[in-house]
Structure 1
Amino acid sequence: VDLPTRAITGALNFGHGVRPHQAVVDPNSGLLYVTTEIDKRIAVIDPKTRAIVGSVPTGADNSHMMVLSHDGRLGYTANVKPGSVSVLDMAGRKTLAVIPVADVVQRIAISADDRLVFTSDNTRPRLAVIDTATRSVRQWVDLPGLSYGAAATKDGRWLLIAIPSISAVGVIDLTTLKVARTIPVGDAPQEILIQPDGRVAYVSCARSGSVSAIDLATWTVVRQIPTASGADGLAWASRQSARVSGK
């Protein structure tokens, strides 16, 4: 999609049903990774040629969402129905481990220092904290409701997590691994995206059809951005892309 003109400029066909969900660009290699749930794999795509150049097996069904370590070496997927997290060698294109977590998981996040990975138990109000060194669940964080998408702040101090059942964002102190505060947002928050400069967090709110903007210095909602109903996934257009478009 060309952002300035909002026109579709091309498409990539997987050739069969794969149920693609999340696309993640690795700034280190320039490769694009896309989860393909039905194939139990991550598709590896060259965005310049728009060609599939390989794949990474996840070793589990329903590999739904993924995150990369900041050096791009490791990938982590949340596998919905098995309720597990896969650890992937992105360069070697192989599965390193599959970590049992809960009956159902879906979204996933990673800490700024890559030491922790987080995924919500979608059957109980708690968050799994996974130690990336031991590749095991280190502990659980009790939450005031069932949770969904999460994102860590750039300074490594906080994890923000969407809690749809109470229409709020929980703020977890990563030094104590406890909920420090909750922030009311739009109805049914889904995903959280933190601005590249670390100052603002954007929260998609499905039932209210809006995106709540949270000032991370004051922990307050400073803007409600109207969208269509069902707002969910969020992505950030890079400043480099903005310069190319002349804006």
Structure 2
Amino acid sequence: MMGRDVLRGVVGLVLVLSAGAACAQANQAPHLLVVQKGDASLGIVDLMAGKVVAAVPEGGITGHEVIASKDGKLAYVPIYGNSGVGKPGTDGHELVVIDLASQRVVGHVDFGHPVRPHMPLIGPRDGLLYVTTELEKSVTLIDPKTLKIVGSIPTSQEQSHMLALSHDGRRGYTANVGPGTVSVLDIKARKTLLVIPISGNTQRISITPNDKWVFTADQTKPQLAAIDTATNKVEKWVPLEGVAYGTTPTLDGRWLMVTMPGKSKVAVVDLKTMQVVRSVDTPADPQEILMRPDGKVAYVSCVGSHKIAEVDLGTWTVTRTIEDGANSDGLAWAGK
């Protein structure tokens, strides 16, 4: 018969191993990332628990947007500064790399001078990190393995704030806020192909899964510009209930979700008819939308209310809200 002390030791070892396995599983589990601008930190959201479980300091002035590495282990946060686009304030000059398991900054990319780096994306073909660098009127290319700058693409416009990349890796599109234009970029040749006028002011940008349509929001009227990528012209205007901000297509390419901060709503556009077919009420000030990788749920950062709304795409209802940090904005998915 096993002695009592031996039995206690075996039980203790099992508990330790179980706790270690649970911890490893938690580190490997998918997480929602949110940039908490008011706190100068990156929030890590445990979706099972429905709450922010960690806030990683970015090191001073804040970032606005984030992207995760393909393996879900790292987050890349360009440090934009404490101002809005086109407004006076600090001018960021670096990007920080955050290890999500240890929850700390483990790397930096210094651009060498102020550039206000903003929107990061991972290239679908080359795996490079693409970051808008506003003050240079460019998109900067970074090798995520070495954290070295390997090139840049001029946008030929001020305030190139947001970026969309085609899924075939051939084209890039920047929303140039103050000029109210969209720059079309040749990724391979690293040059601007043309600049498309939109309005007096524009915001955010997205591209459909089939690379046919690019959308950006007119900030002077309640409408969206729909750019046909075959002609690089605004072929349609989508009327809305209120002035739009962020746009994101569903992964099946059937719908386009559009935030309307002034209305505290998300409009849903049928991409076949280019008409709004419904709207979803959200907490105050919805801004950015992120699709869950399974395509069944969307997450909406609601900046003014310090919440993230979880939207069920089957019922088009907000199923829950998650409290996050001050002035939270950019969203990204870490894991599969």
**Normalising to structure 1: TM-score of the pair?**
0.95
Within a 5 Å distance, the mapping from 1:1-247 to structure 2 comes to 1-239=98-336
Compute the displacement of 1:229 (Å): 2.5
Partner Cα separation in structure 2 for residue 129 and residue 150 of structure 1? 11
- The amino acid across from 1:85 in the alignment is V
Partner Cα separation in structure 1 for residue 175 and residue 242 of structure 2? 20
Q: SS at the partner of 1:204?
A: strand
Partner Cα separation in structure 2 for residue 237 and residue 26 of structure 1? 16
Partner Cα separation in structure 2 for residue 46 and residue 16 of structure 1? 19
Q: What are the superposed Cα offsets for residues 83-120 of structure 1, whole Å, 9 maximum, x if unpaired?
A: 00011011110111110001101200111111000000
Structure having the larger proportion of residues in helix:
2
Q: SS at the partner of 2:262?
A: helix
Q: SS at the partner of 1:81?
A: coil
| Larger radius of gyration between Structure 1 and Structure 2 | 2
- The amino acid across from 2:139 in the alignment is I
- The amino acid across from 2:286 in the alignment is P
Compute the displacement of 1:207 (Å): 1.1
- The amino acid across from 1:218 in the alignment is T
Partner Cα separation in structure 2 for residue 25 and residue 67 of structure 1? 10
**Other-structure match for 1:242:** none
Partner Cα separation in structure 1 for residue 203 and residue 316 of structure 2? 26
Provide structure 1 residue ranges, at least 5 long, that are not aligned to the other structure. 240-247
Instruction: Please tell me the root mean square deviation across aligned C-alpha atoms, in Å.
Output: 0.8
Number of corresponding residues: 239
Partner Cα separation in structure 1 for residue 335 and residue 135 of structure 2? 30
Q: SS at the partner of 1:137?
A: strand
- The amino acid across from 1:226 in the alignment is E
- The amino acid across from 1:90 in the alignment is I
Task: Give yes or no for contact 1:86–1:98 (8 Å, CA) kept in 2.
Answer: yes
Partner Cα separation in structure 2 for residue 28 and residue 112 of structure 1? 15
Q: SS at the partner of 2:108?
A: coil
Partner Cα separation in structure 1 for residue 333 and residue 169 of structure 2? 18
- The amino acid across from 1:92 in the alignment is A
**Other-structure match for 2:57:** none
Q: What are the superposed Cα offsets for residues 30-66 of structure 1, whole Å, 9 maximum, x if unpaired?
A: 1000000010010010000000000001111110000
Q: What are the superposed Cα offsets for residues 163-217 of structure 1, whole Å, 9 maximum, x if unpaired?
A: 0011010000011101100100111001000111111000000111000000101
**Normalising to structure 2: TM-score of the pair?**
0.70
Partner Cα separation in structure 2 for residue 105 and residue 155 of structure 1? 26
Partner Cα separation in structure 2 for residue 161 and residue 6 of structure 1? 32
Provide structure 2 residue ranges, at least 5 long, that are not aligned to the other structure. 1-97
Task: Give yes or no for contact 1:210–1:229 (8 Å, CA) kept in 2.
Answer: no
